[in-house]
């Protein structure tokens, strides 16, 4: 690792010749991952919080290459679903170190977590509803739990990720002391947890720290001397736009410590986006250039099935013509092959004038990029390669049409049994 690694990797920092070689060899659309960058980001974050227990929030990217790189760097893993627990274990995580943060968990997810905890009692189950605690007790569980609270303050880059003020997430703030008394009688209460939001940058930092201070106050009210940890979640963002500055993590660390104040329990933090966002990009090939009175429309082979964030969150991702970055910039609209107006990566975006067969790079795709990839229009999901210096390995092969239809082809007519191979 380079200790002086920059706090953000811009698209121009990637090796364009290597990217063009990858597009030629592995076809497009293609996810390109740099596991070393994942480790650098994790270590930089951890260095800003030397007294905290830093866990990676797996939901940002559950790829085995990402999880393995983080486990190698010394990270523990926080999982939001039973499938993430399974993937973390498959990557080599010790189940006794895992934390499962359930949100309206299906029965099969709770069954899996309880069964796992019966063999690995170090597993911690976080619940954000009284009902979930009742369901755990009904399964005979009496082990390690944390209470997810709703601080009533939401932060982040979009209203759909401002979890701290969304009633879906966590037990209402004022009800937590009463719930804590009840939970202590039935389980081993080891912590409380909150998550204010995602993609927190400079403008959101003050609100984020207010939420942290509020959670710390509540921890003291319920008796932090008796708690193992207070988990403030993650949420720290990266600059997606080229003119945005990255967070000064040393300063962020100071602000968070000031917001927490004196606390007997250990601080836990769960970065996700910060660790993986700039460690991956998408390569896509131009197949159509259409001049219209309204815009120059550039069609590419990536789509909202490849990465849905622009359609889902109206998110900005930098785009660069890696085939000809020296050409003059021209405002273009860039979209994929899906039959919906939402399948657009950019509008009126200055890009070195694209031509058919040019390869474009879409940056900052590591967080919730492949994780939200789908098969809309029966499109096979793309391949993913990991670069390690000059070495390249395929960490996820490109799907085929046979993969898209496999679950139907293998289905037994009339059978609707639950998953049996979790």
Distance CA 152, CA 166 (A): 8
Exposure letters 119-144 (e unless 16+ CB within 10 A, then b): eeeebbbbbbbeebbebbeebebebb
Indicate which residue of 79, 209, 338, 339 is catalytic: 339
Q: Are residues 238 and 299 in the same domain?
A: no
Digit-coded pLDDT (tens) for 288-306: 999 999 999 999 999 999 9
Check residue 160 and give its pLDDT: 37
Q: What is the distance between the alpha carbons of residues 53 and 300, in angstroms, rounded to a whole number?
A: 42
Region of 382 on the Ramachandran plot (φ > 0 left; ψ -120 to 50 alpha; else beta): beta
- Distances in Å between the Cα of 142 and the Cα atoms of 103, 132, 224, 227, 422 are 19, 13, 20, 16, 23
Nearest to 397, CA basis, from 3, 2, 30 = 30
Has residue 419 been placed in a domain?
no
Computed over every residue of the chain, the mean pLDDT equals 93
- Domain boundary among the residues 258, 275, 292 is at 275
Q: What is the predicted pLDDT for the residue at 63? A: 98
Catalytic-residue membership of 338? no
Residues 247 and 210 grouped into a single domain: yes
Residues 138 and 165 in one domain: yes
CA pseudo-torsion sign 363, 202, 176, 76: positive
179 has a pLDDT exceeding 60: yes
| Domain termination residue (choose one: 275, 302, 320) | 275
The least confident of 146-160, 262-276, 380-394 is: 146-160
Q: Which of 239, 258, 275 is the last residue of a domain?
A: 275
The torsion angles phi and psi of 2, rounded to 5 degrees, stand at -90, 110
Asked whether residue 294 falls in the same domain as residue 191, the answer is no
Q: What pLDDT band is residue 317 in, cutting at 50, 70 and 90?
A: very high
CATH number at residue 43: 3.20.20.10
How far apart are the two ends of the chain, measured CA to CA in Å?
36
pLDDT tens digits for 110-152? 999 999 999 999 999 999 999 999 999 999 999 999 999 998 8
Quick check: 304 and 376 in contact, CB under 8 A?
A: yes
Check whether 162 has a pLDDT greater than 80.
Answer: no
Whether residues 233 and 357 share a domain: the answer is: no
Instruction: Give the containing element (helix H, strand E) for 179.
Output: helix 176-186
Residue 27 within any structural domain of the chain: no
pTM above 0.75, yes or no: yes
- Whether residue 25 is predicted with pLDDT greater than 60 in this model: the reply is yes
pLDDT for 413: 55
Q: What SS3 class is residue 240?
A: coil
């Amino acid at each position: 690792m380079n200790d002086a690694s920059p706090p953000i990797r811009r698209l121009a920092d990637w090796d364009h010749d290597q990217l063009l070689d990858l597009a030629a060899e592995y076809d497009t659309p293609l996810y390109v991952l740099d596991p070393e960058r994942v480790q650098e980001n994790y270590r930089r974050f951890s260095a800003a919080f030397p007294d905290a227990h830093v866990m990676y929030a797996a939901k940002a990217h559950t790829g085995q290459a990402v999880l393995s790189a983080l486990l190698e760097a010394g990270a523990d893993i926080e999982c939001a679903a039973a499938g993430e627990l399974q993937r973390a274990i498959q990557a080599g995580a010790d189940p006794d170190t895992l934390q499962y943060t359930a949100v309206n968990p299906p029965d099969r997810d709770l069954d899996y977590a309880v069964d796992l905890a019966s063999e690995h009692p170090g597993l911690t189950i976080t619940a954000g509803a009284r009902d979930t605690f009742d369901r755990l007790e009904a399964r005979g569980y009496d082990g390690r739990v944390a209470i997810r609270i709703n601080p009533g303050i939401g932060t982040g880059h979009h209203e759909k990720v401002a979890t701290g003020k969304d009633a879906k997430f966590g037990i209402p703030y004022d009800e937590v002391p009463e719930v804590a008394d009840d939970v202590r009688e039935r389980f081993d209460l080891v912590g409380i947890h909150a998550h204010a939001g995602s993609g927190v940058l400079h403008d959101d930092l003050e609100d984020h720290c207010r939420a942290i201070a509020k959670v710390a106050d509540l921890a003291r009210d319920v008796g932090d001397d008796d708690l193992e940890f207070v988990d403030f979640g993650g949420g720290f963002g990266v600059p997606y736009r080229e003119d945005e500055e990255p967070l000064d993590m040393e300063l962020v660390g100071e602000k968070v410590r000031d917001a927490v104040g004196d606390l007997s329990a250990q601080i836990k933090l769960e970065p996700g986006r910060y660790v993986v966002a700039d460690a991956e990009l998408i390569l896509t090939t131009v197949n159509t250039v259409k001049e219209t009175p309204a815009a120059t429309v550039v069609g590419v082979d990536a789509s909202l099935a490849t990465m849905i964030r622009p359609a889902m969150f109206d998110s900005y991702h930098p785009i660069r013509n890696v085939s000809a970055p020296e050409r003059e910039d021209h405002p273009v609209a860039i979209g994929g092959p899906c039959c919906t107006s939402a399948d657009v990566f950019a509008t009126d975006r200055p890009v070195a004038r694209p031509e058919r067969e040019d390869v474009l790079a879409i940056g900052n795709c590591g967080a919730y990029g492949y994780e939200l990839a789908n098969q809309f229009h029966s499109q096979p999901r793309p391949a993913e390669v990991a670069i390690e210096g000059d070495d390249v390995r395929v960490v996820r092969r490109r799907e085929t049409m046979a993969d898209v239809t496999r679950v139907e082809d293998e289905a037994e007519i009339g059978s609707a049994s639950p998953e049996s191979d979790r």
